[in-house]
Amino acid sequence: MVYRLPRIGGKDLIKYLSKKCYKPTRQRGSHVVLRSEHDNRIVVVPLHNELDRGTLLAILEQAGIDRDPL
């Protein structure tokens, strides 16, 4: 079953990724860089109030996370 991606903000996505073992390493302007504790993947999350669905999908794919319900 394909889930429709929700409209969430950057802070909410960072909280979600933190539960998936991603930790913030640095920030430049409105972009936060997170790194995985397990396989050293790097993900950049913009701190926008609402992320576009395409941006959200690209970040989840970079993180190696399926489109499960957030």
CATH number at residue 19: 3.30.920.30
Query: What is the per-residue pLDDT for 17?
Result: 95
- Write out the residue range of the structural domain in which residue 23 sits: 10-63
pLDDT tens readout for residues 42-62: 999 999 999 999 999 999 999
Q: Does the residue 20 lie in any domain? A: yes
**Ordered DSSP codes for the chain:** -PPPPP---HHHHHHHHHHTTEEEEEEETTEEEEEETTT--EEEEE--SS--HHHHHHHHHHHT--S---
Tens of pLDDT, residues 2-40: 678 889 999 999 999 999 999 999 999 999 999 999 998
Determine, yes or no, domain membership for 4.
no
pLDDT value of position 2: 63
Residue 16 inside a domain? The answer is yes
